[in-house]
């Protein structure tokens, strides 16, 4: 395969940001209630692979590998497996995209360029857990065409404990960093966000239960947030000094209809709770459950 010319590659990158990702579901899903949905690091800071040695970039090609566009962020969770959001690998009618439509850059905190295409990992299989009928199951595991060496990236383990509003969590991704821009960040960004308690989330969403199901609710009060392009990326908390995977960036919704800001203040972000899917992830990868989770010392 020949690497695409750099200009084309970059064009494709910025060309797709505004229209597509970002929107995890078609807007139709919530048209009745008059709400607009957004997926959505705002206010973040640049971070390196020392913090996120598992970070992955998911690119999509619709022309057999000549042009690639950035699709989503992901995390390496096994030497040959990446976890991301299911909506990143589905068309808007919820049919799944072919595995060959994807290429991944693993273990780099800098956005891939055309020169990196020759090193992309290909995808051989895509696994989902009922996303087609259950939107909350916004998780997908991608099997890579080869193992990722420990010198390239280290898999992240899942945080298996209850997620409470006192847990300090951080979100990371390559998504847009300014609300009025469609440019992706060239470097991985991270920001501290907060897990919200049920009372807070119920105020806006009467059908909200708690942070112990498939989703984690995070109301953005300080402007720190995930945003378009961060979908599929990690929500992390430290355990024994190691960063562990608490959630996967899924989607967001604006709480203020008069001010349709897409991310940041006045929005709720939802993250898929990784622990809810840990058993499924382990069986998908053919490993023991205990090997995918991180226990406290
Ligand atoms: C990976 O996929 C590209 C198309 O995107 C193809 O040209 C290349 O040969 C594939 N690499 C391997 C090792 O299969
Ligand atoms: C790649 O994208 C560019 C810009 O959209 C287009 O001109 C070119 O034909 C595409 N290449 C292929 C092989 O489709
Ligand atoms: C926003 O995130 C940045 C980067 O992680 C952090 O330094 C800052 O303290 C956060 N702000 C708030 C109010 O949490
Ligand atoms: C939920 O959070 C709000 C705002 O921080 C706080 O006032 C309330 O007491 C909390 N409720 C519970 C049950 O922790
Ligand atoms: C409300 O919470 C439920 C989960 O209980 C979720 O499925 C739904 O999408 C949320 N709706 C909004 C508008 O935030
Ligand atoms: C969370 O909500 C579910 C219903 O969706 C309920 O079955 C479960 O007991 C609740 N868990 C906690 C810890 O409140
Ligand atoms: C978000 O809210 C914080 C705290 O109220 C404020 O300092 C910040 O300027 C707001 N950001 C935007 C983009 O409105």
Q: Tens of pLDDT along 243-274?
A: 999 999 988 877 776 666 667 777 888 999 99
Q: Residue 132 has which token pair?
A: 């087609």
d(CA 91, ligand 2 centre) in Å: 21
Alpha-carbon distance of 98 to 30, in angstroms, equals 27
The answer to whether residue 178 scores a pLDDT higher than 80 is no
Q: Would you say the CB of residue 69 lies under 6 angstroms from ligand 4?
A: no
Alpha-carbon distance of 292 to 272, in angstroms, equals 16
Residue nearest to atom 11 of ligand 1 (CA): 122
d(CA 167, ligand 3 centre) in Å: 15
What residue ranges define each of the domains in the chain, with the CATH number in brackets? 53-155+280-287 (2.40.10.10), 168-274 (2.40.10.10)
Alpha-carbon distance of 146 to 40, in angstroms, equals 30
pLDDT higher for 55 or 70?
55
Which ligand has the shortest distance to the CA of 223? 7
Q: Residue 4 has which token pair?
A: 């695409």
Q: Would you say the CB of residue 200 lies under 6 angstroms from ligand 4?
A: yes
Residue nearest to atom 2 of ligand 3 (CA): 191
d(CA 207, ligand 5 centre) in Å: 6
Q: Residue 5 has which token pair?
A: 């010319």
**Test site for ligand 6: of 137, 198, 208, 210, most ligand atoms within 8 A of the Cβ:** 210
Q: Hey, CA dihedral for 162, 167, 173, 177, is it positive or negative?
A: positive
Residue nearest to atom 14 of ligand 1 (CA): 122
Query: Per-residue DSSP letters for 249-260?
Result: EEEEEES-TTS-
Atom nearest to 270 CA in ligand 5? 14
- Name residue, tokens 């969590």: 169
For the entire predicted model, the pTM comes to 0.85
In which band, very low, low, confident or very high, does the pLDDT at 42 lie, cut at 50, 70 and 90?
low
Q: What is the pLDDT of residue 173?
A: 84
Q: Would you say the CB of residue 205 lies under 6 angstroms from ligand 5?
A: yes
Strand partners, 57: 73, 105
Residues with CB under 6 A from ligand 2: 8, 11-12, 63, 66-67
CA distances (Å), origin 28, targets 24, 33, 93, 156: 11, 10, 11, 35
Residue nearest to atom 7 of ligand 5 (CA): 136
Q: Would you say the CB of residue 222 lies under 6 angstroms from ligand 7?
A: yes
Query: Per-residue DSSP letters for 240-280?
Result: TTEEEEEEEEEEEEES-TTS---SSTTEEEEEEEGGGGHHH
Closest CA to 244 of 164, 151, 170: 170
In which band, very low, low, confident or very high, does the pLDDT at 31 lie, cut at 50, 70 and 90?
very low
The listed range with the strongest mean pLDDT (11-20, 146-155, 222-231, 243-252) is 146-155
Closest CA to 55 of 252, 281, 249, 287: 249
For 141, residues 6+ apart whose C-beta sits below 8 A from its C-beta are 77, 81, 82, 83, 126, 127, 128, 281, 284, 285
Judged on CB neighbours under 10 Å (0-12, 13-18, 19+), 140 is: buried
């Amino acid at each position: 395969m020949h690497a695409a010319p750099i200009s084309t590659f970059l064009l494709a990158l910025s060309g797709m940001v505004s229209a597509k990702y970002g929107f995890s579901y078609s807007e139709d899903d919530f048209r009745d209630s008059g709400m607009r949905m957004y997926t959505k690091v705002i206010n973040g800071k640049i971070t390196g692979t020392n913090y996120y040695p598992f970070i992955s970039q998911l690119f999509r090609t619709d022309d057999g590998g000549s042009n690639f566009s950035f699709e989503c962020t992901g995390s390496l969770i096994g030497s040959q497996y990446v976890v991301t959001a299911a909506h990143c690998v589905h068309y808007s009618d919820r049919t799944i995209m072919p595995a060959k439509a994807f290429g991944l850059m693993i273990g780099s905190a800098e956005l891939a360029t055309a020169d990196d295409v020759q090193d992309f990992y290909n995808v051989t299989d895509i696994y989902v857990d009922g996303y087609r009928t259950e939107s909350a199951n916004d998780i997908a595991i991608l099997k890579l065409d080869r193992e990722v060496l420990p010198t390239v990236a280290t898999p992240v383990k899942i945080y298996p404990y209850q997620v409470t509003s006192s847990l300090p969590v951080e979100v990371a991704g390559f998504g847009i960093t300014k609300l009025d821009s469609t440019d992706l960040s060239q470097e991985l960004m991270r920001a501290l966000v907060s897990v919200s308690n049920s009372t807070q989330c119920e105020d806006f969403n009467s059908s909200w239960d708690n942070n112990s199901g498939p989703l984690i609710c995070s109301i953005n009060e300080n402007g720190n947030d995930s945003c378009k392009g961060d979908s599929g990326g990690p929500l992390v908390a430290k355990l024994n000094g190691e960063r562990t995977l608490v959630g996967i960036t899924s989607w967001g919704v604006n709480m203020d209809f008069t001010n349709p800001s897409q991310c940041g203040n006045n929005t709720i972000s939802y993250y898929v709770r990784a622990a809810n899917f840990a058993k499924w992830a382990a069986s998908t990868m053919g490993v023991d459950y205990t090997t995918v989770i991180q226990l406290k010392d």
